[in-house]
């Protein structure tokens, strides 16, 4: 029996004027997360989509699992498709009950049966009773309309029916790339992958840039960043990235020619400058960082303001008002926490001053930078960068 998933949109319903645009984007996003398992069929009906696997049979639950990570989806129902005659419907509700039981942790004892949708013949009530008793006989479950362990919904459509047995919440947000593109600064830490994923959820297509201090930091630190980007492909199936050598190009000149206490803020300004150049090459219009206000000394209000003044593009900091515990919880949910928590040396620890300036002023920073060959430093970093691409690999379904 063919597995189907019914997709309900999030927020899209509100975007009246641009609705076709968002729907088209959601179709592309759904196709993208299922590309590796072959073509799928997506039918639009009554303000929702019905997704069906193509010819190839897919592992049970794969469709719903993949779709539960597509931004723009509010919730989903897993089910099977059936013809509308009595015998087909009876077979379909038994199959749906079997699938519901397989997806539940404990053996269900109760169920509810509801029939809705296109019911010109006025059969819905009679069908509820008839199909309910089919399920009761096949499973031994009792009917409980208030708090059932399993809820079976028969949706009558033109010429066919869908029997839905499981509701799964989607991530919400807006579909892939509907808001444009941005470059996220991805460190090996906990915060920056969360920030990148949050902006993906608002419809931004995210590219990533990482600054590393090879050969002073380890190869393992680089692998960690690739793996973090890989984990983020659960939310955006293809991610383009750039690795920028930072030690010789930026950190050495700063160590030799800039006041010690300002190094951290100066280094951050260089990161943003380089990221901005990369962004404008790829029609990205914003930068994303994982800064949270006052989490560390480089994140005082003064320092964040001075950091931003190095670039013209908006710098998005979706974590700015969040506490560490909340950020950690989000990292766990998006699947990056375990990777971020592994050992890995950080480029910025390398030359970090013992007493970094907590309230850098524009005047002090400009004076320091006027003694540095800023443009040629930026150029040498860009000249030695390497590009990479990571794609979703199904490791957890």
Binding site for ligand ATP (CB under 6 A): 185-187, 189-192, 210-211, 271, 289-291, 295-296, 298, 347-348
Question: What b/e string do you get for 59-80 counting C-beta neighbours within 10 Å, with b at 16 or more?
Answer: eebbbbbbbbbbbbbbbbbbbb
Half-sphere exposure of 306 (CA within 13 A, CB side): 26
Shortest Cβ 140–ligand ATP spacing (Å): 52
Cβ distance to ligand ATP smaller for residue 81 or 345: 345
Cβ distance to Mg ion smaller for residue 187 or 236: 187
Shortest Cβ 186–ligand ATP spacing (Å): 5
Name the 3-class secondary structure at 204.
Answer: strand
Residue 289 interacting entry, from ligand ATP, Mg ion, none, C-beta within 5 to 8 Å by type: ligand ATP
Shortest Cβ 387–ligand ATP spacing (Å): 15
Q: Which residues bind Mg ion (CB under 5 A)?
A: 187, 189
CA distances to 55, 293, 299, 344 from 325, in Å: 45, 14, 17, 21
Residue 291 interacting entry, from ligand ATP, Mg ion, none, C-beta within 5 to 8 Å by type: ligand ATP
Spacing of C-alpha 233 from chain mean position: 7
Cβ distance to ligand ATP smaller for residue 172 or 335: 335
Shortest Cβ 177–ligand ATP spacing (Å): 21
Residue 185 interacting entry, from Mg ion, ligand ATP, none, C-beta within 5 to 8 Å by type: ligand ATP
Q: Give the residue from 143, 93, 83 showing the smallest Cα distance to 115.
A: 93
Shortest Cβ 199–ligand ATP spacing (Å): 11
Cβ distance to ligand ATP smaller for residue 67 or 244: 244
Shortest Cβ 185–ligand ATP spacing (Å): 3
DSSP conformation class of 119? -
Position of minimal CB gap to Mg ion = 189
Position of minimal CB gap to ligand ATP = 189
Residue 295 interacting entry, from ligand ATP, Mg ion, none, C-beta within 5 to 8 Å by type: ligand ATP
Q: Give the residue from 203, 211, 164, 168 showing the smallest Cα distance to 187.
A: 211
Shortest Cβ 290–Mg ion spacing (Å): 7
Residue 296 interacting entry, from Mg ion, ligand ATP, none, C-beta within 5 to 8 Å by type: ligand ATP
Name the 3-class secondary structure at 158.
Answer: coil
The sign of the torsion formed by the CA atoms of 277, 337, 62, 81 equals negative
Are β-strands 287-288 and 180-185 bridged in parallel, bridged antiparallel, or unpaired? parallel
Cβ distance to Mg ion smaller for residue 82 or 299: 299
Q: Give the residue from 163, 168, 167 showing the smallest Cα distance to 70.
A: 168
> Two tokens at 79?
């089910």
Task: At 241, give phi and psi (nearest 5°).
Answer: -140, 165
């Amino acid at each position: 029996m063919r597995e189907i998933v019914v997709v309900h949109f999030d927020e899209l319903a509100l975007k009246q004027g641009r609705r076709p645009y968002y729907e088209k984007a959601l179709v592309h996003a759904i196709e993208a997360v299922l590309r590796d398992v072959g073509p799928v069929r997506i039918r639009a009906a009554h303000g929702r989509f019905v997704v069906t696997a193509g010819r190839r049979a897919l592992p049970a639950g794969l469709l719903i699992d993949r779709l539960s990570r597509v931004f723009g989806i509010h919730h989903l129902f897993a089910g099977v498709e059936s013809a509308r005659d009595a015998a087909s419907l009876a077979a379909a509700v038994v199959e749906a009950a079997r699938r519901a039981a397989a997806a539940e942790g404990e053996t269900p004892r109760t169920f509810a049966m509801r029939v809705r949708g296109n019911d010109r013949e006025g059969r819905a009530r009679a069908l509820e009773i008839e199909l309910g008793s089919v399920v009761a006989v096949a499973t031994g479950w009792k009917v409980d309309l208030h708090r059932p362990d399993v809820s079976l919904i028969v949706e009558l459509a033109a010429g066919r029916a869908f029997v839905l047995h499981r509701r799964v919440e989607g991530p919400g947000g807006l579909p892939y790339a509907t808001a444009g593109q941005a470059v996220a600064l991805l460190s090996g830490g906990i915060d920056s992958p969360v920030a990148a994923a949050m902006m993906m959820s608002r419809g931004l297509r995210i590219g990533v840039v990482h600054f590393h201090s090879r050969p002073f930091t380890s190869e393992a630190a680089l692998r960690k960043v690739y793996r973090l980007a890989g984990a983020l492909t659960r939310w955006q199936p293809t991610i383009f990235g750039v690795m920028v050598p930072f030690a010789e190009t930026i950190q050495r000149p700063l160590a030799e020619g800039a006041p010690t206490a300002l190094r951290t803020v100066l280094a951050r300004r260089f990161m943003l400058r380089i990221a901005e150049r990369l962004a404008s090459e790829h029609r990205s219009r914003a930068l994303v960082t994982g800064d949270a206000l006052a989490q560390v000394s480089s994140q005082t209000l003064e320092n964040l303001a001075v950091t931003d003044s190095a670039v013209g593009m908006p710098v998005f900091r979706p974590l700015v008002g969040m506490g560490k515990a909340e950020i950690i919880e989000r990292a766990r949910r998006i699947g990056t926490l375990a990777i971020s928590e592994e050992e890995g040396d950080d480029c910025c620890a390398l030359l970090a001053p013992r007493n970094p300036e907590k309230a850098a002023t524009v005047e002090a920073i400009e004076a320091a930078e006027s003694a540095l060959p800023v443009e040629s430093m930026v150029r040498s970093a860009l000249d030695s960068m390497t590009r990479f691409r990571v794609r979703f690999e199904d490791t957890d379904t």
